[in-house]
């Protein structure tokens, strides 16, 4: 299985901050990475696909980068509705695997 390691597991930030979350794959996954946002009691919502493509309807303050094994999700100008948990997921190979999550909390 491809292991996905996210860091940090949690962070505190203020509205307006720039936040960076990293995801590392245990082997080369090309660009086959998705970033999700999840709020309590809801299913994950896709933000970024293919490592850097913004999902339709997602604000442009969300961006993704990376290729191979190292990936980054950046949220610029953090908004109140962005406080949530974020996950990465690889779809290079089955079984699909997810990172452990990063909880973004209000400072």
Interface residues toward other proteins, by CB under 8 A: 1, 32, 34, 42-44, 46, 49-50, 87, 89, 91, 94-101
Does residue 46 contact residue 64 with C-beta atoms inside 8 Å?
no
> 43 Cβ partners below 8 Å, 6+ apart?
none
Which residue number, 36 or 82, has a Cβ lying nearer to other proteins?
Answer: 36
- Binning the chain into helix, strand and coil, the percentages to the nearest 5 are 5, 50, 50
Least distance (Å) between residue 18 CB and other proteins: 25
Which residue number, 78 or 86, has a Cβ lying nearer to other proteins?
Answer: 86
DSSP-derived secondary structure letter, 81: G
Least distance (Å) between residue 35 CB and other proteins: 11
Which residue number, 30 or 77, has a Cβ lying nearer to other proteins?
Answer: 30
């Amino acid at each position: 299985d491809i292991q996905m390691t996210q860091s940090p597991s949690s962070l505190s930030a203020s509205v307006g901050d720039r936040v960076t979350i990293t995801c590392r794959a245990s082997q080369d996954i090309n660009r086959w990475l998705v970033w999700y946002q999840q709020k309590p009691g809801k299913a994950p919502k896709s933000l970024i696909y293919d490592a850097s493509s913004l999902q339709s309807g997602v604000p442009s303050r969300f961006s993704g980068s990376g290729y191979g094994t190292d990936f980054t999700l950046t949220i610029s100008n953090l908004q109140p509705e962005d406080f949530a948990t974020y996950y990465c997921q690889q779809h290079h190979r089955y079984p699909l695997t997810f990172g452990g999550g990063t909880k973004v909390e209000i400072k």
